[in-house]
Amino acid sequence: MDASADPDSKDTSGPHVTPEIAAEASVWIARLHGPDRGPEMERECLAWQARSAAHRLAFERCTDVWESVPGVRLADAFASASRRASDAGGGGDAGPGSQRSASRIWILATAFIVLLAGGSGYWHFVRGGESFGTQVGEQQQLMLVDGTRMTLNTDTQVRVDMGTSKRTVELQRGEALFEVSKDPERPFVVKAGGNEVEAIGTVFSVRMPGGSGQGSQESAVTLIEGQVAVRPPVARDVRGSEADKAVLMQPGERLRWVPQELGASRPVRPQLDRPKLATVLAWRRNEVDFEDASLMEATSEMNRYSRTPIVLLGNGTLGTLRVSGLYRTGDSAGFAHAVAALHGLRLREQGGRLELSQSQ
């Protein structure tokens, strides 16, 4: 029988297993071997496998990998995955490029399963209907059951709902980065401050005010990869107007909402720009990157990461000074000392806070 005619063949000419499907299969394997396994979970897994031959093939291969995991070192897992991919692709007609792609997929899946088997506390796995949050200065990484990765920044609170027709995350405050696993049948929606950000498979970050710190009151969506549609809240007096229509974003764009002015009758129109992504995502490296920012903006951003706030004293002119440079998140003292030296300011630690003022 021709191997290519068998939909479940492990030949590379069979079902196309993407890295996203391999990651989802890895999560299912880990969950089924965990303490929460039950009839409902088994039914959900069977339904996932029934969605396509690629899902079934990924589950079979990840099951094979899991059986070889006990006692294995990560380096050995990578080598084993490479051999496994080569053996699986050796009998097909696919070219070297296809074999290298398959090898990368199963190296990824194997390493991921080994990470799960090792009981790493870095990842937390989310089924849905749960709330998660970080304290000031903390970060946390979450893996949803569909393979989506979610990284929470400082002082952030989210609630996850993994529905059958839609995957929803409510960002109640703070900032989060989403690396969404593709699932055309279940859109991925992030709700933040009345706005809805919808994506099928993409990478983007969402930030909104509401934390306990003195951070910027600006909300923003930044798209790194893929495409998202941002739907703003519908104002009662302008329903159906141009301002209420969805904004389709392109990679590298950022959509921002500035604070609503006192007495304004409608939400402020969002502003679209193209920032330096390395600057926007500097928090992933535990850094804050300022480029000609006002001292008011800079101190507000630094205060998001520390329980020792920086306070500007005086008549307000201090906040207009300009600041540039790369600083460590949480290092309020280092930042305050650098700013004081740069602008000739007076720095004093008083009552659990750092006070900056003009020198007498």
Q: What is the pLDDT of residue 86?
A: 52
Q: Based on the structure, what is the number of domains in the chain? A: 3
Q: What is the pLDDT of residue 107?
A: 53
Q: What is the pLDDT of residue 1?
A: 40
- 117, 141, 157 - which closes a domain: 117
Give the model confidence (pLDDT) of 239-284 as tens digits. Answer: 444 455 788 999 999 998 765 544 444 556 678 999 999 999 999 9
Q: What is the pLDDT of residue 48?
A: 85
Query: Per-residue pLDDT averaged across 121-138, rounded?
Result: 73
In a domain, 352, yes or no: yes
Q: What is the pLDDT of residue 253?
A: 95
Both 204 and 219 in a single domain? yes
In a domain, 281, yes or no: no
Both 44 and 94 in a single domain? yes
Give the model confidence (pLDDT) of 303-331 as tens digits. Answer: 999 999 999 998 778 999 999 999 999 99
Q: What is the pLDDT of residue 126?
A: 60
CATH number of the domain bearing residue 251: 2.60.120.1440
- 87, 117, 147 - which closes a domain: 117
Give the model confidence (pLDDT) of 42-89 as tens digits. Answer: 888 888 899 889 888 888 887 776 665 554 444 444 444 445 545 555
**35 — pLDDT class (breaks 50, 70, 90):** low
Q: What is the pLDDT of residue 181?
A: 83
In which domain, by residue range, is 246 found? 123-276
Q: Are the CB atoms for 359 and 315 separated by under 8 Å?
A: no
Mean pLDDT comparison of 19-28, 30-39, 347-356, highest-scoring range: 347-356
Query: Per-residue pLDDT averaged across 181-186, rounded?
Result: 84
Both 41 and 72 in a single domain? yes
Give the burial string for 107-131 (b: 16+ CB within 10 Å, else e): bbbbbbbbbbbeeeeebeebeeeee
pTM summary value: 0.67
With 60 as the cut, is the pLDDT of residue 192 above it? yes
Both 140 and 262 in a single domain? yes
Both 137 and 232 in a single domain? yes
